[in-house]
Amino acid sequence: MMSYCVLLLPSVHDVMKAEKILLAAGVNLNVIATPRELSHNCGVVIRFDCSNLNTLLSLLERLHVEKKIFTKTDENMYVEFTQE
């Protein structure tokens, strides 16, 4: 079973910019409604396979906005990835 992560950005506009960059690079993703547990100003998030995390972060370095990455635990709770 694949492990999925979600990328939370400040606005829908930021999600659209990130989606364009990632799709152009061939990253498999879905734009989905922001899970209620992650209450945030933006109504959508990018869902992707966690194995693509480093690629995604590298591609989005030039997108100078706050990026939060979450993964879902076996207990069905979201946990934020901390970035060094």
Give the CA radius of gyration of the chain: 12
Q: Which domains does the chain have, with CATH numbers?
A: 4-74 (3.30.70.260)
SS3 61: coil
> Which residues, given as ranges, of the chain have pLDDT below 70?
1-2, 39-40, 83-84
User: What distances in angstroms separate CA 37 from CA 22, 54, 72, 76, one per listed residue?
Assistant: 25, 24, 11, 10
The pTM of the full predicted model, rounded to 2 decimals, is 0.89
pLDDT computed for residue 83 by the predictor: 60
pLDDT computed for residue 74 by the predictor: 81
